[in-house]
Chains A and B, each alone.
Chain A
Amino acid sequence: MATKKILLLDIAHARSGDKGDAGNVGVIARDPKFYPVISRELTIERVKKHFEGICFGPVERYELPNLNALNFLLHNSLGGGGTVSLKNDAQGKTLSSAMLRMEIEVEEDLLT
Chain B
Amino acid sequence: MKDSIRIASGQGFWGDLIDAPVNQVKNGPIDYLMMDFLAEVTMSIMQKQKLRDPNLGYARDLPGQMKKILPDIMEKDIKVITNGGGVNPIACREAIFEAARELGITGLKVGVVLGDDILMRIDDLIAEGIPLLNMETKQPISEIRDRIVSANVYFGAFPIVEALQKGAHIVITGRTTDTGLTLAPMIHEFGWAKDDWNKMAAGTVAGHILECGGQASGGNFLGDWKSVPDLANIGFPIAEARPDGTFTITKHEGTGGLVSVATVSEQLLYEIGDPKDYITPDCIADFTSIQLEQEADNRVKVHGVTGLPETEFYKVSASYSDGYSAAGTLTYAWPEAYEKAKAADAILRKRFQNLGLEFDEIRSEYLGLNSSHGPLAPIPDDINEVVLRIGVRGKNREHVARFGSELAPLILTGPPSVTGFAGGRPKPSDVIAYWPALIPKSAVTPQVVVEEV
Residues of chain A touching chain B, judged by Cβ–Cβ distance below 8 Å, are 13-15, 17-21, 24, 26, 28, 30, 50-54, 60, 62-69, 71, 73, 79-84, 86-89, 93-94, 96-98, 100-101
Contact = CB atoms under 8 A, between A and B. Distances in A.
B371 A89 contact: yes
A88 B388 CA distance: 11
Given A28-B265, A66-B291, A71 B275 contact: yes
Contacts of B376: 50-51, 54, 98, 101
Given A62-B274, A73-B273, A87 B363 contact: yes
B96 interface: no
A103 to B, nearest CB: 11
Interface in B277-295: 287-292
Contacts of A51: 376
Interface of B: 39-41, 136, 220, 222-224, 262, 265-276, 287-292, 304, 319, 322, 325, 327, 361, 363, 365, 367, 371-376, 389, 391-393, 431-434, 436
Contacts of A21: 136
6 contacts: A15-B220, A24-B270, A64-B269, A65-B288, A87-B365, A98-B374
B434 A81 contact: yes
A28 B269 contact: yes
A68 B269 CA distance: 11
Contacts of B372: 88-89, 94, 97-98
B41 A82 contact: yes
Residue from the set A13, A54, A82 with the largest chain B CB neighbour count within 10 Å: A13
Contacts of B223: 13, 28, 30
A15 B266 contact: yes
B288 A17 contact: no
Nearest to A75: B136
Residue from the set B365, B371, B373 with the largest chain A CB neighbour count within 10 Å: B373
A83 B431 contact: yes
A67 B270 contact: no
Contact of A97 (B262, B373, B374, B392): B373
A94 B269 CA distance: 15
Contact of A83 (B40, B290, B327): B40
Contact of B136 (A17, A20, A73): A20
Contacts of A98: 372-374, 376
